[in-house]
Amino acid sequence: MEHWAILRRVTTDIDRRSIDTIRALAMDTVQQANSGHPGLPMGMAPAAYLLYQRILRHNPKDPLWPDRDRFVLSAGHGSALLYVMLHLSGYGVSMDDLKAFRQWGSITPGHPERDTVHVTPGVEMTTGPLGQGFANGVGMAMAERFLRERFGAVAQDHRIFAIVSDGDLMEGIASEAASLAGHLRLGRLVYLYDDNDISLDGPTSLSFKEDTTKRFEAYGWHVEEVADVNDLEALELAIDRAMRDEERPSLVRIKSIIGYPSPNKQGTSGAHGSPLGEDEVRATKEVMGLDPDKHFDVPDDVAAHMDQSARGAALQAEWNAAMSGWRSEDDGRAQEWDAAWAGRPLPGFAASLPPKWSKDALATRVAGKEAMAAFGPHVPTMVGGAADLSGSTNTLFPGGESERFTDTQAGRNVYFGVREHAMGGAVNGMAGHGGIVRPYGSTFLQFADYMRGSIRLSALMGLPVAWIFTHDSVGLGEDGPTHQPIEHLAALRAIPQLTVLRPADPDETAEAWRVIVEDLEGPAAMALSRQNTPVYDRGEGGLAPASGLARGAYVLREAEGAQAVIVGTGTEVEVALGAADLLAAGGVAATVVSMPSWELFEAQDEAYRAAVLPPGLPSVSVEAAVSMGWARWVDASVAIDRFGASAPGPEVLEHLGITAEAVAERVLGLLG
C-alpha cells in the first residue's frame, strides 16, 4: 500500500479502496480485450471517483434526465475509465459489458459512442478524435444557458464537466472552442485537464511546452492548479472553486501520473495505449494491496459505496416535484418544453412554409433566410449561427440585438466568429445536450472541410443538426478557386448517414427546411447558392410541386415521348431546363428531373426510382461540381473536374461548360 504515501489527504479508507478498484477494473478491462488505453484511467481514477461520487448531479437509473450534469470524456481513448465509472455508479453497464470491451456488438466500444448501435447508458457524446469533446462541452454549456434563460432555473440548472487531456489541448479545435467559451463567459463549464506530461509518442516535451495556465487565463478562463490528482481534498476544493465561478469557464489543471501505480510503466507512454501485460497487472495489484489472482473484482462494500442510484433518484425526485409545480404554472411553456425535448417543432410549423417570396428570382441562401423568418416562431429553441458569415449565409433569425447569444444573454443567433471547427463541435454538443431543436452551423460550402471532423461525428452519432452551406458552386464568382467548392458535394455525400440537400429554387429551399426539421432524424447538410434562381412557376400547367424534394428526386417537367432525361441539382436545374428547351426546339424530347438529395432518393422504392430515372432512357446530369459518383445515377455528366477560377460567376460557369448548350450537346451525343 506504499503508493498511498502520495495520497496525503485522502479522507477515508473506502475512498482509497474505491479508487484502487477503479484502477484494477480499468486494467482488467483493457487486459481482457488485450487492447486499449489503461494509462489515463489509472492516473485519473481519483478525479473520476470524485466526479461520479460527489460532484455530478446525475441519476444512473435515468441517464437522460434533462437536468443532469453532463460529463464528456473528451480524451475518448480513456473509455475504460468511463465504462468502469458507469458500471460502479449503477448505470446499465454490467461487469459482462466490461468484459466485452472492444468486442463486436458490445456497448463498450473502443471509444465512447453515443449512437443508435452502441446505446451505452451514460455516454453523452462519441469521442475519440481529440479536441472534439472539448468543443462539444462548449455547445452543451450554450444549450444549458439558453434553456435556463428560456424556461427558468427550475427546469434547467446544471453544469458541464469534461476530462480533457494534453492531446485535447494541442488540437486547434480546442483553442477555438476555449476562445469562444471565454468570450461567451460560459461559467457552467468545468474541465478537468489531465496534465500528465505524456502523450502517444512520448513525453509532451517533444512537442508541447506552452504555459497552459496563462493560455487559458488569456482566453478568459478561471484556472485552478492541483499538484497531485491523488490529493483528493485539494482536488475537491479546486473543483468547488471552479464551480463557484459562474462568470468564467474553468480549467482545473491536474497533475497526474499516467498508469499510476504500475511499478514499471507509470509515467511512460508505455502505459498510454497498450495493455500493461498480465505480469504488470499482477504487480500493480500487489502494489495496491489487491489479490493479483482476482479479476474484475469489486468488494461488496466498495460496490455499495459507489452505487449512486439512491442519491440520483433523490436528486431527480426533487427536480420532478419542482417541475410538476412549474408545469401547472404555465401550460404553453410546458408544451413548448415537451416539444423541445422531443426535438419537434410547435404546431403551425409546416403551414408557415413556403413564405410569400420577396422577389421572383432569389438566391437560395436568401430563400433560406425568408424561410427561417417564417418558421422561426414555431421552433423557439432552435439555436445556431455562422462562422462570421451570417451576412452572407443569411442564417440569422429576425430580432436583431434581442436575439443575439452574447456573454450576457442567450438569444438564438450565435456569432461563432471565424471558428468553423469549434462551431461544428459546439453544434454537435447542443444537439447532444437536448432541448435545442435542430441546432445549426453555417459557412461557405468550401469551408465544410474545416469542420469535416464534426460533420462526420454528427453523422456517426445520428445527431439532429443542420449544416447550412452557401456559395455552393463556382457560380459564386470573383472570389475564385480558394472559395469555389468543387469536390465538396461529393465529399459530403460520401459520409454515411448524412442527408445532403441542394435545393433548386426558393420553394425547394423551404421544403428542404421542412424535411430537415420534420422528417429527418439525423444530420442534414444543405447547399445553397449565392446567385439567383427563378422562383419556378409550379402552379397548374407549370412545373411539379416542390414537395417532390422529400423523395430526393422527382420529375420536374415531363416531356411527352421523352427520348432522354436531364438531371440537375440546385442552380443547375435552370441549366437542365434550358437544355431541354434547346432540345425541344430541335425536335428532341427530354424530361427534366430535379435531384436535390441522393440520399433521400436512394431511400425510395425501386418502382419510384425507375419512374423518375427510367432504365434504358439515356440520362445526363448537370451539376457544377466533380462528376464523381454520378455514374451511379446517369449515363453521362456535365460536371467540373478541375478547380474553378476568379471571374464573374456567369463567366466562370460558361468557361467551365455548365451551360444549356453543353448539356444539350451531351444528350445529342448519347442519342447518337
Ligand X SMILES: Cc1ncc(C[n+]2csc(CCOP(=O)(O)OP(=O)(O)O)c2C)c(N)n1
Positions that interact with ligand X (CB under 6 A): 37, 39-40, 75, 77, 128-130, 165-167, 171, 194, 196, 198-200, 258, 272
Least separation, in Å, of the C-beta of 128 and ligand X? 5
Least separation, in Å, of the C-beta of 78 and ligand X? 6
Pick the closer one to ligand X by CB: 453 or 548.
453
Please answer whether residues 591 and 555 qualify as being in contact, where contact means their C-beta atoms are separated by less than 8 angstroms.
yes
Pick the closer one to ligand X by CB: 454 or 470.
454
Does the N-terminal peptide bond of residue 41 adopt cis geometry, omega within 30 degrees of 0?
Answer: no
CA 104 – CA 113 distance, rounded (Å) = 13
Pick the closer one to ligand X by CB: 270 or 506.
270
Least separation, in Å, of the C-beta of 205 and ligand X? 12
| Amino acid occupying residue 513 | W
CA 451 – CA 421 distance, rounded (Å) = 5
Pick the closer one to ligand X by CB: 194 or 505.
194
**Pairing of the two strands 590-594 and 554-557:** antiparallel
- State the catalytic residue, choosing from 280, 420, 511, 599: 420
Pick the closer one to ligand X by CB: 31 or 393.
31
Helix pair 506-514, 364-375: axis angle to 10 deg: 50
Least separation, in Å, of the C-beta of 134 and ligand X? 11
Least separation, in Å, of the C-beta of 73 and ligand X? 11
Instruction: List, in order, residues 6 or more apart from 443 with CB less than 8 Å away.
Output: 386, 387, 389, 393, 420, 423, 450, 451, 469, 470
Please answer whether residues 647 and 655 qualify as being in contact, where contact means their C-beta atoms are separated by less than 8 angstroms.
yes
Please answer whether residues 91 and 102 qualify as being in contact, where contact means their C-beta atoms are separated by less than 8 angstroms.
no
Least separation, in Å, of the C-beta of 447 and ligand X? 19
CA 15 – CA 197 distance, rounded (Å) = 26
| Eight-state DSSP code of residue 248 | S
Residue 511 bears catalytic tag: no
474: nearest Cα among 351, 575, 389: 575
Pick the closer one to ligand X by CB: 198 or 474.
198
Pick the closer one to ligand X by CB: 166 or 370.
166
377: nearest Cα among 511, 519, 523, 517: 517
Task: Output the nine-digit C-alpha cell for 524.
Answer: 442534414
How deeply is 585 buried, as exposed, middle or buried, from its count of CB atoms within 10 A (0-12, 13-18, 19+)? exposed
CA 529 – CA 50 distance, rounded (Å) = 51
Q: Which residues pair with 119 in a beta bridge?
A: 114
Pick the closer one to ligand X by CB: 15 or 420.
420
Pick the closer one to ligand X by CB: 75 or 353.
75
Least separation, in Å, of the C-beta of 441 and ligand X? 19
Task: Output the nine-digit C-alpha cell for 610.
Answer: 425507375
Least separation, in Å, of the C-beta of 268 and ligand X? 10
Please answer whether residues 52 and 89 qualify as being in contact, where contact means their C-beta atoms are separated by less than 8 angstroms.
yes
What is the DSSP code string of 573-632?
Answer: HHHHHHHHHHHHHTT--EEEEE-S-HHHHHTS-HHHHHHHS-TTS-EEEE-SS--TTGGG
Least separation, in Å, of the C-beta of 374 and ligand X? 40
| Amino acid occupying residue 374 | A
What is the DSSP code string of 208-239?
Answer: --S-HHHHHHHTT-EEEEES-TT-HHHHHHHH
Residue of minimal Cβ distance to ligand X: 167
Instruction: List, in order, residues 6 or more apart from 661 with CB less than 8 Å away.
Output: 579, 582
**What is the rounded end-to-end Cα distance, in angstroms, of the chain?**
86
Pick the closer one to ligand X by CB: 271 or 583.
271
Least separation, in Å, of the C-beta of 165 and ligand X? 3
CA 227 – CA 626 distance, rounded (Å) = 55
Least separation, in Å, of the C-beta of 197 and ligand X? 8
CA 285 – CA 1 distance, rounded (Å) = 10
Pick the closer one to ligand X by CB: 50 or 258.
258
Pick the closer one to ligand X by CB: 28 or 195.
195
Task: Output the nine-digit C-alpha cell for 52.
Answer: 461520479
**Cβ-based neighbour number of residue 551 at 10 Å:** 17
Least separation, in Å, of the C-beta of 168 and ligand X? 6
- Degrees to nearest 5, angle at CA 475 with 473 and 476: 85
Helix extents (H) in 397-538: 420-433, 452-461, 488-493, 506-514
Q: Estimate to the nearest angstrom the gap between the alpha carbon of 203 and the chain centroid.
A: 31
Q: Which residues are catalytic?
A: 420
